[in-house]
Each structure stands twice: as structure tokens, then as C-alpha cells.
Amino acid sequence: MKKVKTAQELKILQEEIQNSRDPEKPCITICAGTGCLTYGSQKLVDNFKAEIEKQNLNGKVEVRASGCHGFCERGPLVVINPQKILYQRVGLDDAEEIIKETILNGQIIDRLLYIDPVTQEKILHEDEIPFYKRQMRLVFGMNGNIDPNSLEDYLAIGGYSALIKVLNGMEPETIIEEIKTAGLRGRGGGGFSMGLKWEATRNAPGLPKYIICNADEGDPGAYMDRSLLEGNPYSILEGMLIGAYAIGSNTGYIYVRNEYPLAVKNITIAVEKARKLGILGENILGSGFDFDVVIVRGGGAFVCGEETALIASIEGRSGEPRAKYVFPAERGLYNKPTNINNVETWANVPLVINKGAEWYRSIGTENSKGTKIFALVGKINNTGLVEVPMGITLREIVYDIGGGIPKGRKFKAVQVGGPSGGCIPESHLDLQVDFDALSKVGSMMGSGGMIVMDDRTCMVDVALYFLKFLEEESCGKCTPCREGVHQMRLILERITEGNGKEEDLKTIEWMGKAIIDGSLCGLGGTAPNPVLTTLRYFRDEYEAHIKGKTCPAGVCKALITYTIDPDLCTGCMVCARICPVEAATGEKKEVHFIDQNKCIKCGACFESCKFDAVKVS
């Protein structure tokens, strides 16, 4: 593609590409997001390409490696277009069969179809599957239609229409008003109005102005930003271009954690191709507007997701936050006005510009407009990334989309907002997911991590897990976070080991409030949330650990014992074989026995016994 010099030229190019594509042409889309890649989907892509070659179908059938499709539980995923047939859990050697049967003979391969667990029916099309049906995949849905490294693909689905609209005569102030009216709030956890931030940065005195894309996604279990950056990097670039134009910035930074190599690779390719096309660089589309992007990789610190620590990191300093009495919009990167937004927030911008603020407002609740992408993980049947309108209930997400809890276990809680968020119990499952509703129950939307927990999850253990994480990630500058989170972790550890004291709960509550009030930044400022919410909704579990020295969920190793019920044991020897330390022993067809001196409480016997003979007490 040669450089485009005007908005008109880009529009013509877009139309040319769209016209040159035959919507009826068979296209095999294979998910090559990081999740499916770990299943070996790259091999599947290669196998498809080889088979196409072998069958002389080059040019007649497309093979497209796309970014994440979201239904990660069922990967590797293959979608046959134009019919939108979804094949799930595809074997790496199934390429040949799929081409022979489905592409050439129009036959469906039954065994690769998704089976509805309730109706037991096989479902043919992607959009009929309950997991997808209840979602509103406005932002994330485009992943399946493009190869993330292909600028042509992005243009083919209408990409850069928003940029064309903007450079064809939208004033910066108008753009900002549109974003403000749309009610687009930050998707990284802060939930602050994007339009207001843009406005503040535009109005702040000082040049140059900077914009930053925060791709340092650090919450354990969250991978929405990774999948967006991997799967549709051009949408983020388009959003940033529009933002930079509105704010008056010529340089954008994309700060992406180094632990996301595919995202780094794909955004780097996207930037290079955008430059070649002329939609990054000088005098973009003849508008007189210059803008380019610098990609900076994080060095492995959760705290660098905090905007002032991120800025310090870009500047080459240690990733330590500073007090935010003066916002980055006024003094940020290199002390200049800086607007920083999360990946998903940037990705929403082209949508708002293309469809308009009024349309955007029609989705969501009173104060939370649009959709949100959540990483639905943990004890859930349909693990994956889901995009839903704000206002949907937790129950709908967990049961209708998520398919409920596996192995017939019972729902216990859902952790929303990562280490800054809180656990929400069953009594609040009908809560509408939006920024305000979640804060009211002590949690927060956060960046989108949603960890589902069942009755075999110990809530004290969950709180301890998050404290350990935050203790390691704390930058260490301020006393309440550095020392306070550490001491809180020690207390919780004692409790899980059966050494809890009477006064521990009061101490934790007192510490929690003081750490929230006293910490320098949001890491410390929200660190007590997991502890305080689990204490609020599961106090009896804490008390069982402290007073009764028991772990009701059967998790805390120091407080549980695995024994074999002689009435149920059939002597099948599965536990004896699986036990890593030979603590479980017995003869064939004879009752087995667990030697408590050797047992390391790993739970492998419990998980493997088909007769429920292994008991936890």
C-alpha cells in the first residue's frame, strides 16, 4: 500500500479494499491469541496453510490467524466464514479433515461442535452459543474478523472511518464534547471521565503535550488489554490519534508490560505499517497534524500500572508513584500536560466517533455508559473474555454467559477488581455491574478481572493471596503500604496456620482503614479491600480459623487432614498411584490408608477419588 496523503485518499483505499473482498469467499479463522497459542494453535494455522497449498486452494480459500475470540475455555477455536460455523477444541491435526469435509464437501464435523450443557444440543453457529449470545461484543468482537498484523483487514472492516470523520472537519472541542457526552469512563479501574481528562489536558498550559496508553495490565487473572492489543492494535492507534488531535499532542507513548511479547510484537508491527501508510508521522492525511508513537516496555512491576509510577518509568526513573495533588493532565510526563488512558478506553473512542455519543449513551446505566470487557476466570465453566453492556447483573454473567460453576460445586463469591477490589457473595449476585453499584458494596469495577470462587475456596486464603501479591509489588516508598501490607500479610498467614489471635480481626480492621487513608497511591490505598470485603461477608470463616482452628472450605493446609472413609473406599489404588509422596497406600481391592506423617496436603487424592472416599476435615 502506498502512502495516503489526504482523508479522501484513505477513504478511497478503504472502499477499494472493501470492494475487493468477496464476503462469500470461504475464510478459515483460527484464534491465535496467546491463550489458544498455548494450546498449539500456531501449528494448526500452519497445518491449514499447508493443506490449502496441497489441495490447490490458494486464492480460493482464506486462512486467517486472528487475535483472541474470547471463548478461551473451548480453544483452539476455528470459525468457518461466511457461515460463522464454530469448531471448538480443534485438534492440531484436524486441519485436513476440516478442509476436506467442511470447506470442500460442505459437511459439518459434529464432534467439533459446541454442545449446549442444558439442552444437550449441538450448536452450529458462533452467535447461537449462549456464551456469545448474551454478550455485546462491540469492541472485542472485531478480533475475529481481522489478522492483527494486516492493516488492510482493519480497513476492510471500516477501520479508520473515525479518523477520516475527525480530520474531515471535526474541531478538537467538538470531539472532546462528543466523548464527554457519550459518558465514556476509564476502563482501567479509575472510571474517570475520558472527556474531562482530555479537556483538562488540552486546557493546561505548557507544551508539548503527551498522551499515553497504559497497557501495563497487572491484575492477576486479567487479560482483556493483552487480547485487545494483540488482536486489534489498530483500534488503539486510531483512538490515540483522535485523542491526540483533540488534545493537541504530537507524541503518544504506549507503555506495555514486557510480559506480553505478542502484544509488543503486534503493536510494533501496527505502528510501522501505520507509518508506512502515512497515518502516523507528519502532516497526517494533509491535516497539518503530526503524531507519532513511542513503544515503551515495562520492566516487571505491577505498581507501574499506576499512572505517576508509569510516567516515572518512561522517564527512566524508578517506578515510584508521587502524590496526585496535581494531576498528570497539568504536570505529567517530563512535567508537561499528559493524558493517560487505558487500552480498552482508547479502543472505545473510534466507536463513539463513528456511531455518535447519543448512540453510545443508549447502552449501559445512568452513570456507566457503553460496554465493559471482563476476564471471567476461576471456578467457572466458560472461562474467557466477555464483553457486556454496563448494567448487566453478576448473575447473568456468571450463569447465563459463564455457564455456572463446574463439577456441580456451589457458587461462593466473585472477586471483581483484582487486588484493589472486593469479593461479592451470592446475596449480591443480582447487582448490576457498573462503576457505582460495585463501589457501594465495597468492591470496584477495576480493570475487568472477575474471579469466580466455589465452596472449596477459603476466603481467608484468598485475602492472603492478594496481600502476598501486593506486598511483593509495593514500591516501598510509603510506610502504610510497605510496612502495613507486610504486617497484615503476617497476621493473615498466622490465621491460616492456626495461630490466629482474638484481637487479630480488630487489628486488621483498624489497619485497613489507616492504610487506605494513609497510603501515597492507589496500590496501598486499595490494598486492604480484599481483606475487608472478605471480612465483611465471610466473617464466620475468619472466626472458624481463629477460634475453631479449622478451615471450613478445607483449604488451609495446616488446618486440614485428608482421611479415607473405609466404607466408601473400593481399593482402586488411584490415590496411591497419584500421591506424590507415597502417603496414600493400600493393596488392590483393600481399604486404603493415608499416613499423616507423610501427607503434604496437596489434595491430589481428594481430586482423583471417583468414589468420594477421601474426606477433608
Partner 1 sequence: MAEMVTLTIDGLKIHASAGTTILEAATDSNIYIPHLCSNEELAPYGACRLCMVEIIQGERARLVASCIFEVADGLEVKTNTERVLNVRRLVIELLLSRNNKHPALRKIADELGVKETRFPVEQKGCILCGQCVRTCREVVGVSAIGFSGRGITRKIATPFMESPPDCIACGSCVYVCPVQVIPMKEENGVRTIMKYDYPMQKCRKCGQYFAPKKQLEYFSKITNLPLEHFETCVGCR
Binding-site ranges for partner 1 (CB under 8 A):
301, 303, 318, 322-323, 325, 471-480, 482-484, 486-487, 490, 507, 510-511, 513-515, 517-520
Q: Are 189 and 363 in contact (CB under 8 A)?
A: no
Q: Which C-beta is closer to partner 1: that of 35 or that of 525?
A: 525
Shortest reach from residue 526's CB to partner 1, in Å: 15
Shortest reach from residue 214's CB to partner 1, in Å: 20
SS3 of residue 451 by DSSP:
strand
Look-up of cell digits 474478523: 145
Q: Which C-beta is closer to partner 1: that of 86 or that of 304?
A: 304
Q: Which C-beta is closer to partner 1: that of 502 or that of 567?
A: 502
Q: Which C-beta is closer to partner 1: that of 117 or that of 476?
A: 476
Shortest reach from residue 535's CB to partner 1, in Å: 17
Q: Which C-beta is closer to partner 1: that of 178 or that of 471?
A: 471
Q: Which C-beta is closer to partner 1: that of 37 or that of 475?
A: 475
Shortest reach from residue 312's CB to partner 1, in Å: 13
* DSSP E strand stretches across 292-342: 292-298, 338-342
Q: Which C-beta is closer to partner 1: that of 254 or that of 478?
A: 478
Q: Which C-beta is closer to partner 1: that of 422 or that of 528?
A: 528
SS3 of residue 150 by DSSP:
coil
Distances (CA, A) of 153 to 161, 335, 339, 371: 13, 39, 29, 24
Shortest reach from residue 544's CB to partner 1, in Å: 23
Shortest reach from residue 187's CB to partner 1, in Å: 24
Q: Which C-beta is closer to partner 1: that of 309 or that of 352?
A: 309
DSSP assignment of 55-101 equals TT-TTTSEEEEES--S-GGG-S-EEEETTTEEE-S--TT-HHHHIII
Shortest reach from residue 515's CB to partner 1, in Å: 7
Name residue 394's amino acid: L
Q: Which C-beta is closer to partner 1: that of 104 or that of 514?
A: 514
Cβ-based neighbour number of residue 467 at 10 Å? 24
Cβ-based neighbour number of residue 82 at 10 Å? 11
Q: Which C-beta is closer to partner 1: that of 73 or that of 307?
A: 307
3-state percent breakdown (helix, strand, coil) of the chain, nearest 5: 45, 15, 40
Distance CA 276, CA 414 (A): 46
Shortest reach from residue 420's CB to partner 1, in Å: 16
Q: Which C-beta is closer to partner 1: that of 456 or that of 468?
A: 468
Shortest reach from residue 225's CB to partner 1, in Å: 23
Q: Which C-beta is closer to partner 1: that of 18 or that of 318?
A: 318
Cβ-based neighbour number of residue 182 at 10 Å? 26
Distance CA 135, CA 417 (A): 20
Distances (CA, A) of 599 to 458, 493, 560: 20, 21, 11
Long-range contacts of 554-557 (CB under 8 A, 24+ apart): 554/456, 554/458, 554/616, 554/617, 555/456, 555/457, 555/458, 555/461, 556/458, 556/460, 556/461, 556/496, 556/497, 556/498, 557/600, 557/601
Shortest reach from residue 419's CB to partner 1, in Å: 13
Shortest reach from residue 331's CB to partner 1, in Å: 13
Q: Are 77 and 90 in contact (CB under 8 A)?
A: yes
Shortest reach from residue 267's CB to partner 1, in Å: 27
Q: Which helix (H) or strand (E) holds 512?
A: helix 504-518
Quote the distance between the C-alpha of residue 458 and its chain's center: 24
Q: Which are the contacts of 299, defined by CB distance < 8 A and separation ≥ 6?
A: 258, 313, 319
Quote the distance between the C-alpha of residue 239 and its chain's center: 19
Shortest reach from residue 525's CB to partner 1, in Å: 10
* Burial class, 365, CB count within 10 angstroms (exposed 0-12 / middle 13-18 / buried 19+): middle
Q: Which C-beta is closer to partner 1: that of 236 or that of 464?
A: 464
Q: Report which of 328, 368, 329, 377 is spatially closest to residue 348, judged by C-alpha positions.
A: 368
Shortest reach from residue 411's CB to partner 1, in Å: 34
Q: Are 381 and 405 in contact (CB under 8 A)?
A: yes
Q: Which are the contacts of 322, defined by CB distance < 8 A and separation ≥ 6?
A: 308, 312, 520
Quote the distance between the C-alpha of residue 287 and its chain's center: 36
Distance CA 339, CA 331 (A): 10
